[in-house]
Amino acid sequence: MSTSKRIILTGATGLIGTRLFAALRERGYEVVIFSRNPSRARAALPGAAEYVTWSPAESGPWASAIDGAHAIIHMAGAPITQGLIGVRWTPEYKREIRDSRVIGTRGIVNAIAAATHRPAVLVSASAIGYYGYSDDTPLDESSPPGRDFVAEVCVAWEREAVRAEEYGVRTALIRTGIVLDTEGGALAQLLLPFRLRTGGPIMPGSQYYSWIHPDDEIAILLMALEDERVRGPINATAPTPETNRDFCTILGQVVGSPSWLAVPEIALRIALGEMADLVTKGQRVLPKRLQELGYTFRYPTLKPALEDLLT
Ligand SMILES: NC(=O)c1ccc[n+]([C@@H]2O[C@H](COP(=O)([O-])OP(=O)(O)OC[C@H]3O[C@@H](n4cnc5c(N)ncnc54)[C@H](OP(=O)(O)O)[C@@H]3O)[C@@H](O)[C@H]2O)c1
């Protein structure tokens, strides 16, 4: 496909954004990167049409770059887990997690509203944290939101994004699960003890991890950009979430290291405080909308996904 449509991408320097930037360029899009540090973004990701200074605010000089763009893919936000060891959700950091998303998204939509030539589509990141923590009850896009910190952030973040619909902009909210990436995120954290042959489940072990292979995550973001049927919330998770115990057993098989040393919940609670909920509680999320839309997962099951990434 060849097109010179202009796409605004925030969060391009992140785990998902880096892969997405490459995929957009491969498809011939002209990408404008919005970053808090454009010179660092330029060094890390050469080849963008422009590097624009952007940080979460209700307005800013960057707004003019949105006028005339075909689409905005908005991925930026302060990391919810900056690695699990030694980081706590202090009140200040919680505010940063929330404001970076809520005020950041508000500013993007304000700029859409003010544009003479509005974009056709806004693809806005969200997370399965929207649903809160749950037992083994399957959750789909019609399930109600949770009431914990991350859920409240997701609700407020999505509320800002859907305002774009009022201005005639098709808006997709991508509720992403645990993106399997060896460079960062949950998989990188889980891998370390397995590499040291001290891997094992995080208790209670029955909590569900709703994961997704990065290739599927990128394909879903591109589908949201290009397929006019995609609108509203979309769960970006593989159709086979696994309990933590099964996840660790499969991970152990793939890396050739047994899953045996269970991590007690209390140890994580002492080390991480409230953040321990992210790993000791889970959610069993299903990609109902994607399946209705006929999306075919490249990696619908965990073992081939991990084999692709780790062997
Ligand atoms: N990775 C996952 O497993 C996962 C799961 C569910 C949802 N998500 C959501 O998907 C989006 C992208 O995820 P990701 O893993 O690629 O994120 P990431 O690696 O943490 O990067 C996101 C980008 O956001 C920008 N950023 C960082 N701190 C910020 C702050 N305080 N204010 C404004 N911008 C800030 C940075 O770009 P600059 O430095 O260039 O400004 C960074 O490259 C995030 O909103 C995340 O919550 C991710």
Distance of CA 285 to the CA centre of its chain: 14
129 CB less than 6 Å from ligand 1?
Answer: no
How far does the centroid of ligand 1 lie from the alpha carbon of residue 226, in Å? Answer: 22
CA distance 86 to 277: 15
16 CB less than 6 Å from ligand 1?
Answer: yes
How far does the centroid of ligand 1 lie from the alpha carbon of residue 78, in Å? Answer: 6
Q: Whose CA is nearest to atom 29 of ligand 1?
A: 78
Residue 1, pLDDT score: 41
Residue 83, pLDDT score: 59
For residue 271, being part of any structural domain is answered with no
Residue 3 clears pLDDT 70, i.e. is over it:
no
205 CB less than 6 Å from ligand 1?
Answer: no
176 CA: nearest ligand 1 atom: 6
Residue 233 β-bridge partners: 173
Q: Where are the alpha helices (DSSP H) in 58-213?
A: 63-66, 91-114, 149-162, 185-195
> Smallest Cα–Cα separation from 55: which of 10, 4, 2, 93?
10
Q: What digits encode the pLDDT tens for the residues 113-148?
A: 999 999 999 999 999 999 999 889 999 999 999 999
How far does the centroid of ligand 1 lie from the alpha carbon of residue 88, in Å? Answer: 17
CA distance 279 to 259: 16
Residue 86 clears pLDDT 60, i.e. is over it:
no
How far does the centroid of ligand 1 lie from the alpha carbon of residue 1, in Å? Answer: 28
75 CB less than 6 Å from ligand 1?
Answer: yes
Taking the CA atoms of residue 134, residue 137, residue 141 and residue 144 in that order, the dihedral angle to the nearest 10 degrees is: -50
76 CB less than 6 Å from ligand 1?
Answer: yes
How far does the centroid of ligand 1 lie from the alpha carbon of residue 233, in Å? Answer: 19
Residue 172 clears pLDDT 80, i.e. is over it:
yes
11 CA: nearest ligand 1 atom: 23
What phi-psi label fits residue 197: left (phi over 0), alpha (psi between -120 and 50 degrees) or beta?
Answer: left
Q: What digits encode the pLDDT tens for the residues 275-288?
A: 888 889 999 999 99
For residue 112, being part of any structural domain is answered with yes
pTM of this prediction exceeds 0.95: yes
102 CB less than 6 Å from ligand 1?
Answer: no
Other Cβ atoms closer than 10 A to 39: 10
Other Cβ atoms closer than 10 A to 91: 6
For residue 230, being part of any structural domain is answered with yes
Instruction: Give the mean model confidence (pLDDT) for residues 242-269.
Output: 93
Instruction: Give the mean model confidence (pLDDT) for residues 21-44.
Output: 98
Confidence of residue 4 (pLDDT cuts 50, 70, 90): confident
* Angle between helix 149-162 and 91-114 (nearest 10): 10
> Smallest Cα–Cα separation from 81: which of 290, 268, 223?
268
Structural domains counted in the chain: 1
> Smallest Cα–Cα separation from 173: which of 215, 238, 230, 119?
230
For residue 167, being part of any structural domain is answered with yes
127 CB less than 6 Å from ligand 1?
Answer: yes
Residue 168, pLDDT score: 98
| Coarse DSSP helix, strand, coil percentages of the chain, rounded to the nearest 5 percent | 45, 15, 40
* Angle between helix 302-310 and 244-255 (nearest 10): 40
Q: DSSP 3-state assignment of 97?
A: helix
Instruction: Give the mean model confidence (pLDDT) for residues 31-48.
Output: 98
Residue 85 clears pLDDT 60, i.e. is over it:
no
Residue 81, pLDDT score: 80
For residue 203, being part of any structural domain is answered with no
39 CB less than 6 Å from ligand 1?
Answer: no
Amino acid at 225: L
Q: What digits encode the pLDDT tens for the residues 195-242?
A: 999 999 999 999 999 999 999 999 999 999 999 999 999 999 999 999
For residue 153, being part of any structural domain is answered with yes
pLDDT, averaged across the chain: 94
For residue 311, being part of any structural domain is answered with no
303 CB less than 6 Å from ligand 1?
Answer: no
36 CA: nearest ligand 1 atom: 41
Residue 235 β-bridge partners: 175
Long-range contacts of 295-299 (CB under 8 A, 24+ apart): 295/219, 295/220, 295/223, 297/213, 297/216, 297/238, 297/239, 298/213, 298/215, 298/216, 298/219, 299/213, 299/215, 299/216, 299/238
Full domain range(s) for residue 122: 6-179+212-238
Residue 183, pLDDT score: 85
* Angle between helix 185-195 and 244-255 (nearest 10): 60
- The region of weakest confidence among 49-63, 169-183, 264-278, 294-308 is 264-278
Residue 2 clears pLDDT 50, i.e. is over it:
no
How far does the centroid of ligand 1 lie from the alpha carbon of residue 100, in Å? Answer: 10
> Smallest Cα–Cα separation from 245: which of 197, 286, 202, 185?
202
186 CA: nearest ligand 1 atom: 3
Residue 150 clears pLDDT 50, i.e. is over it:
yes
- Which strands sit side by side in the sheet containing 71-74, from one edge to the other? 50-53, 30-35, 6-10, 71-74, 121-127, 170-176, 232-236
- Residue 134 per-residue DSSP state: B
291 Cβ contact list (under 8 Å, min separation 6): 239
Q: Whose CA is nearest to atom 23 of ligand 1?
A: 11
96 CB less than 6 Å from ligand 1?
Answer: yes
> Domain holding 222: CATH number?
3.40.50.720
14 CB less than 6 Å from ligand 1?
Answer: yes
For residue 137, being part of any structural domain is answered with yes
180 CB less than 6 Å from ligand 1?
Answer: no
